[in-house]
Structure 1
């Protein structure tokens, strides 16, 4: 069924097919139509941040930015789901076209620019969802917010999503919001994390629960930069790190149609780059902070490689677009997880 749908959708513009798919899932979830994509996935219980996941394969942020299809993705067997990136105010994102398939490389280029309906809308969708599993909410800053005021946007989002999230991801690594990646380094990173951690304590006291904070980093980092980020993460006592976001590199896709489009590249060409960042990060963190691995995970073997490199859990996105829900089943059944 998925291959038939994909054949039709891949004849359309990438963003049009994305929107059609989400609209279908939104309407089909919690109805008999969900049997078209619902599947049983092997149980491989995995511990992460004090939570027990039914399996270690999650949905990465970016696919369901507004949290409209949480129940549909849960029915596909994901071990956990991350929605967003969401910003304080709704924003249209960058001009279209802004999403491109590089089919020969099983890759995607996007420069969406945090297009979303705003944090209030997302919270309402989460409230309406029947999903009771682990839900991450990924937050960012609005494009119009100056870099020096970025903390304000993250705090606005944190306060609104805190009671509804199993964990909160701080996205400072998208290449599609000007200046955002500058927040990954040195004093800017430490000031941001300090403010976020202070607010986390206030919110924990107010809501009577501790919601872990994770930071999502870019794959386009030198070994020295990774060391610096690891030091900042340890110093601020962030609970987790997600490695990695999309890359601005075009290694491995030279000459392919759409390869020269601006934006972040994800999918197969990211596999080795993201794997190497995970390995370096794991060495730098020395087990102090757990890692969520994402980027080019397209098979049980690449998933196992990421776990062996030091990730505790995994996320998929682009490969899921190309392979469908079967990818979840294939990875979960084919990996060995630590208990």
Structure 2
């Protein structure tokens, strides 16, 4: 495709500026049809996904282009993270391409225009029902300066539940000080109680997004709480604060690392949660997925759905279509008749 020709010029532009340019281009592009359910369709948490490939949160923070991303072939698009109040995020520069490592480091800090603006925008978007229109996830967060972060999550749940096919509770970003403490057992129980009370009985399913930098005891505690609650799935995982061997000169930048160096850690963490939940809870595999083979390995390890973002920085907009077609080929090669049949089959 044409992206490899344009990439050198794009990479000479500051990463955050290049991202805003990409969003503007997507908003101006002609509408494309979302993927139709076919061989790769799968039911998760009462939702029908046309295929298991989703766009991870972070790309479309303000919910500006979900329909355009469906048009690229994603079966699901997760917008956000969105906070109750507008938030500028951390000082710039805060987004770094690690080209030699095919990775990204970000310390954005939940920069977004706030919940009310996003809700108004999402309420206006054209929608088709069910898998034919794509599954919209809304990733919710808390403001950095909030005196009551649990109240922030409850407020965002009330605001976004009518607009979302599912809600993703993000307590695993490393770029908001103290946020990951909500993964602690006592704090997590209180948070989820508040979210489910705010959602009500008829609201959309809720997923929890967890960090890859967890100890075995943390994994067991989160799994136990998840199974005892009304959670419909775990998103495994967010970016990592760890630093495997990297070649880029920007490897020492602080923030969350994503992309290829996260692949093995994210896969291991997915296996850990599959074991800890005994396969009783849907898992969404995220981190370092850049090919159909990566996505297939995550599905075989226990993921019902997968998500990507950083790989598109290096592979461009044709990547979702390539992965979807590759998954169809791999599923046939290994003798499965559906994605659901392949989940956890490694």
1:105-139 CA distances to partner (integer Å, 9 max, x unpaired)? Answer: 11000000000000111112212222432100000
The structure 1 residue matched to 2:204, chosen from 196, 211, 220, is 211
- Secondary structure (helix, strand or coil) at the match of 1:248 reads coil
Q: How many residues align?
A: 324
Tell me, yes or no, if the aligned pair for 1:246 and 1:270 is still in contact at 8 Å: yes
Q: Tell me if the contact between 2:77 and 2:136 (Cα under 8 Å) persists in the aligned partners.
A: yes
Q: Do the aligned residues in 1 keep the contact of 2:161 with 2:203 (CA within 8 Å)?
A: no
Once the two structures are TM-superposed, the CA of residue 145 in structure 1 deviates from its matched residue by 0.8
1:247–1:270 Cα contact (<8 Å) kept: yes
TM-score (norm 2): 0.90
Q: Tell me what 1:63 maps to.
A: 59
* Counterpart check, 1:78 vs 2:79: no
In structure 1, the residue matched to 2:21 is 20
Residues 95 and 104 in structure 2, CA contact (< 8 A), matched pair in contact too: yes
Q: Following the alignment from structure 1 to structure 2, what is the Cα–Cα distance between the partners of residues 296 and 286?
A: 24
Q: Is the 8 A contact 1:173 1:181 kept in 2?
A: yes
Q: Name the structure 2 match of 1:250.
A: 243
Unpaired runs of at least 5, structure 1: none
Question: 1:1-339 residue pairs with structure 2 within 5 A?
Answer: 1-30=2-31, 43=38, 44-132=40-128, 133-146=134-147, 149-201=148-200, 204=201, 209-253=202-246, 255-335=247-327, 336=331, 337-339=339-341
Q: CA contact under 8 A between 2:137 and 2:167: conserved in structure 1?
A: yes
Asked if the contact 1:70/1:131 (under 8 Å) is kept, the reply is: no
Gaps of 5+ in 2: 129-133, 332-338, 342-346
Change (3 A) 1:181 1:331: same
Indicate the RMSD between aligned Cα atoms, in angstroms: 1.6
Q: Would the aligned equivalents of 1:41 and 1:332 in 2 still touch at CA under 8 Å? A: no
Once the two structures are TM-superposed, the CA of residue 326 in structure 1 deviates from its matched residue by 2.4
Decide whether the 8 Å contact of 2:289 with 2:308 is kept in 1.
Answer: yes
1:117 is paired with a residue of what secondary structure? coil
Moved over 3 A (4+): 38-43
Alignment deviations for residues 3-38 of structure 1 (CA, whole Å, 9 cap, x no partner): 2332221111111101111111122253xxx6xxx8
CA separation of 1:290 and 1:40: change in aligned 2, threshold 3 A: closer
Contact 1:66 1:83 survives alignment (8 Å):
yes
Tell me if the contact between 1:168 and 1:211 (Cα under 8 Å) persists in the aligned partners. Answer: yes
State how far apart, in whole Å, the 2-side matches of 1:227 and 1:41 are. Answer: 37
The Cα shift of 1:200 comes to 2.1
Question: 1:287 offset after TM fit, Å?
Answer: 2.1
Q: 1:41 to 1:162 in 2, by over 3 A?
A: closer
Whether contact under 8 Å (1:29, 1:69) holds in the other structure is no
Question: How much does 1:182 deviate?
Answer: 0.3
